[in-house]
Amino acid sequence: MTLEAILPPERTLFAVPGGSKKRVLEFFSTFIAQNTPSLDSQEVFARLIGRERLGSTGIGNGVAIPHARSPHCSGPVAAFLKLAEPIDFDAIDGEPVDLVFVLLVPEEADDTHLALLSQVATVMNDADTRTRLRRSTTQRDLHDTLIEAIRRQGS
């Protein structure tokens, strides 16, 4: 299972209104439930918030990787949000977040979950990739830049 396979262009969102961590997670939960009939927005939101209570998924450098398991997820689901304005995400470095990579996996997907999280972290830890994502000016450009970075990391 690769990130590229679970991140279609329509789940790469550009200039998403931020406001707060809670609003961003609510936005994603509503968005993903509208696009994935088996998922309920309230349940997705509750799981993401529950995970954040264990510790922030803000990994630093303006990046957050909110993730959760869901019994209603038949396979891994990813989305990438470039926020219109950086928000406080309680990141480990204290910096505001503007790049958010969200990952939902089935309840039992231990190895898959860890492998996908590792792939996301590797891609998002690359300073050049982050700069290019921030310079993207369209949804298509954002998705192409992200897929190119995922492919580069995988080779």
Catalytic option among 67, 72, 113, 143:
67
HSE of 10 in the Cβ direction (CA atoms, 13 Å)? 6
67 is catalytic: yes
Q: 43-79 in b/e burial notation, b at 16+ Cβ within 10 A?
A: ebbebbbebbeeebbbbebbbbbbbbbbebbeebbbb
- The span from the CA of 49 to the CA of 42, in Å, is 10
- The span from the CA of 132 to the CA of 66, in Å, is 21
The residues facing 12 across adjacent strands are 80
What 3-state class would DSSP assign to 41? Answer: helix
- The span from the CA of 126 to the CA of 109, in Å, is 26
Active site residues: 67
